[in-house]
Amino acid sequence: MDQMLGYFLYAMSLLTMGGIYAILALGLNAQWGFAGLFNAGIAGFAALGAYTYALLTTADSPFHYGGLGLPLVIGEMVAMVVSGMVAAVIGAICIRLRADYLAIATIGIAEIIKLVIKNETDITNGPRGINKIPRTWEHLTEERFYSSWPMSMFNTPEGWVSFFDSLPAWWWQPFFAATVLVIMFIFYFLLERARLSPWGRMMAAIRDNEVSARAAGKDVTGRRIEAFILGAVIMGMGGALLAQHLRLIEPTNTFDPAKMTFLVWVMLIAGGSGNNRGAILGGFLVWVLWSGSELMIKGSIDVIASIFSDWDPAILQTRAGFLRMLLIGLLLQLVLQKYPGGILPEKRPAVSGRNAKRAGNRE
């Protein structure tokens, strides 16, 4: 029974983390898949969202600014707004130039965000990070929530304590995973609407042939900045959810570009850029591969260490982690060269189901 519970909770954490990565991949799809904008600073936008959310929602703490203890939803909203505003500034500067410049600038802004987080220790607690970030559902068990409105309307604090004590310790896990998935589906639904709308078709036209789109009177720069902001807003939300899932964030390891930026790129390219379902599929698939290979590596290291007893398993462990990154990198090259469309290639022309037949789209 305990083992079953273990599997169940592992599946829940896979779903949660996969969902967060799928949200980040959806955000990247709005930028790269829709508009052909190269964002190499996903980690930076996620960090912005995560830190904004953390500072606004944590309880008052002597280690960092605030926390303001605001409702979680407000923290999430502001995280999206802040991330979008930074994207607007970067977009206004770089988007009229070719995509390479945007790539360089976004990798730069990600480093700058990290630098600010590390250096402004009064606000962010620097490299030590922010702890005790409230997680949706689990936060209900914190005293500051159950002793105040609206929870205090239904029960006394003592009543809530005994109620939560009667639940198993992991009760919030399925609820949190479901919340992440619902948010992912909302973004999917909205992006799908955007893709099929005239706006989305205009985006594809601009991406595929900028000159003729401009000649047709489309506001190329304006549309691109819109797509860039849209993607960054979604990434900000992904960052806020990541902060909830981890509960402790710090600038260096949490927002390592290899794990955040690069992995999200592999997810989108492998799943199929331009296709929202592809982004979601890639997010879950690559995350399951990534997370599952950790178990496999652990198992094989035990085997190797028992055969070659003079090898230090701790060193093998760290080296194997890098080997995994190497293989993911080669996977990206393979997909790029052999299957440039990904698993679920983009469907063109972008028309909704009812009009698909008329437009000659085989579905």
Partner 1 sequence: MLEFVNFYFIPGLVLGCIYALGAIGVTLTFGILRFANFAHGEVMMVGAFLTWTFMDFMTGAGLALHPLVAAIPAVVIAIGVSVFVDRYFYRPFRKSSPIIVVIASFGMMLVLRSLVQVIWGPNQITFVKGIAKPNGAIREATSDMGMMILVPDKHLLIMVGTIVIMLAFNYILTSTRMGKAMRAVSDNPDLARTSGINVESVIRNIWVIGGFCAVAAGVFLAMDTQFIESTMGFRILLPIFAAAILGGIGRPFGAVAGGLIIGLAEELVAYPWIGDAPLISPGYKSGIAFMIMVVMLIVRPSGLFRGKVF
Closest contact distance (angstroms) between CB of 309 and partner 1 is 20
47 versus 240: smaller Cβ distance to partner 1? 47
Closest contact distance (angstroms) between CB of 321 and partner 1 is 8
Residue 67, C-beta contacts closer than 8 angstroms, at least 6 positions apart = 54, 55, 56, 57, 58, 59, 60, 61, 130
Beta bridge partners of 249: 130
Closest contact distance (angstroms) between CB of 166 and partner 1 is 46
φ and ψ of 96, to 5 deg: -70, -20
- Give the dihedral sign, CA 123/103/260/14: positive
Closest contact distance (angstroms) between CB of 123 and partner 1 is 14
Closest contact distance (angstroms) between CB of 323 and partner 1 is 5
56 versus 213: smaller Cβ distance to partner 1? 213
Q: Quick one: how far is CA 166 from the chain centroid?
A: 34
- The footprint of partner 1 (CB under 8 A) covers 36, 38, 40, 93-94, 97-101, 103-105, 107-109, 111-112, 115, 118-119, 257-258, 262, 265-266, 269, 315, 318-319, 322-323, 325-326, 328-330, 332-333, 336-337, 340
194 versus 328: smaller Cβ distance to partner 1? 328
30 versus 77: smaller Cβ distance to partner 1? 30
Closest contact distance (angstroms) between CB of 268 and partner 1 is 10
In the numeric block, the tokens 């999206």 are attached to: 80
114 versus 139: smaller Cβ distance to partner 1? 114
6 versus 222: smaller Cβ distance to partner 1? 222
99 versus 288: smaller Cβ distance to partner 1? 99
Closest contact distance (angstroms) between CB of 202 and partner 1 is 19
Confirm if 110 and 40 have CB atoms less than 8 A apart: yes
Residue 154 vs residues 72, 161, 199: alpha-carbon distances, Å = 20, 13, 46
Per-residue tokens: 88: 């607007």
102 versus 233: smaller Cβ distance to partner 1? 102
Per-residue tokens: 87: 């994207």
Please state, as a whole number, how many other Cβ atoms lie within 10 Å of the Cβ of residue 63. 16
DSSP secondary structure, 42-97, as one string: HHHHHHHHHHHHHHHHSPP-SSSS------HHHHHHHHHHHHHHHHHHHHHHHTTS
15 versus 335: smaller Cβ distance to partner 1? 335
Confirm if 126 and 250 have CB atoms less than 8 A apart: no
Closest contact distance (angstroms) between CB of 349 and partner 1 is 20
DSSP secondary structure, 316-341, as one string: HHHHHHHHHHHHHHHHHHHHHHH-TT
Closest contact distance (angstroms) between CB of 36 and partner 1 is 7
Rg (CA), the chain: 22
Confirm if 280 and 184 have CB atoms less than 8 A apart: yes
